[in-house]
Amino acid sequence: MRDVYYEHLRAIVDDVVRLTGWVRRALASATLALLEADRRLAELVIDGDDRIDQLTTDIEERVFTLMATQQPVAGDLRQLVATLRIIADLERIGDLAVHVAKVARMREPESAVPDRMQPTIRSMARVADAMIEAVAHVVAERDVVAAADLERRDDELDELHRRLFSKVLSDSWPHGVEAAIDLALLSRYYERIGDHAVSLARRLVFQVTGARAGQTMESLSGSV
């Protein structure tokens, strides 16, 4: 009986990893739609969010079923509770990818990102993508050291966010108010994706160690 229970746990982990892959692809497509003013691709990201939401709901229901029927304790209970919070973070990252796609759709046939700002947005998207990729590894392998390294990557994303804002608020900004608002929103979306990835990693640390994530992440970061 317990073998079946652990098979269900493993299947849930596999689906969380699958959900991570879907979210990652959604963000990559949204970024491409944004930079290339591709309305069709933006629409695909927006329409595809239903699939992410459905898988999130499916995982959630299976977790609740295991909690109700198997009465897990200690580490298993932590894993199930953490999983509920992890999929909530992933769903929110998917929503942020949709926000990026909606900006792309709104400004098409022009790009919402002026040419001079595209390298910054590309860099933010690259770091965010690397963080989501790391999340899949962290979830699959329960790798708390890799989880701690996400803090460092988030610092890089925060720095890019600050640089973009300094350019948008500069007196020499040449692209007008509309572009400034778009970029402020976009930068915030990517920065929030990093925050959710870190939040997710901290939940994984708690799941594995049972310790409060903030202190554990700090100690692990010193060893990375």
Q: Residues near 54 by Cβ (< 8 Å), separated by ≥ 6?
A: none
Q: How high is the pLDDT of residue 54?
A: 98
DSSP state of 142: T
Residue 32's CB is within 10 A of a number of other CB atoms, namely 16
Q: How high is the pLDDT of residue 214?
A: 53
- Phi and psi based region of residue 74 (left: phi greater than 0; alpha: psi -120 to 50; beta: remaining): left
Residue 54 and residue 12: Cα distance in Å, rounded? 14
Q: What is the DSSP string of 99-117?
A: HHHHHHHHHTTS-SS-GGG
Q: How high is the pLDDT of residue 79?
A: 86
Q: Residues near 33 by Cβ (< 8 Å), separated by ≥ 6?
A: 39, 41, 42, 45, 100, 101, 104, 105
Q: How high is the pLDDT of residue 44?
A: 98
Q: How high is the pLDDT of residue 151?
A: 85
Q: How high is the pLDDT of residue 76?
A: 85
pTM attached to this predicted model:
0.90
Q: Which CATH class is domain 2-221?
A: mainly alpha
The amino acid sitting at 124 is M
Q: Where along the chain do its domains lie?
A: 2-221
Residue among 140, 187, 20 nearest 90 (CA):
20
Map tokens 């953490």 to a residue: 82
pLDDT tens string for the chain (224 positions)? 567 888 998 999 999 999 999 999 999 999 999 999 999 999 999 999 999 999 999 999 999 999 998 888 877 888 898 899 999 999 999 999 999 999 999 999 999 999 999 999 999 999 999 999 999 888 888 888 888 889 889 999 999 999 999 999 999 999 999 999 999 999 999 999 999 999 988 888 887 787 655 554 555 455 44
Residue among 37, 142, 134 nearest 93 (CA):
134
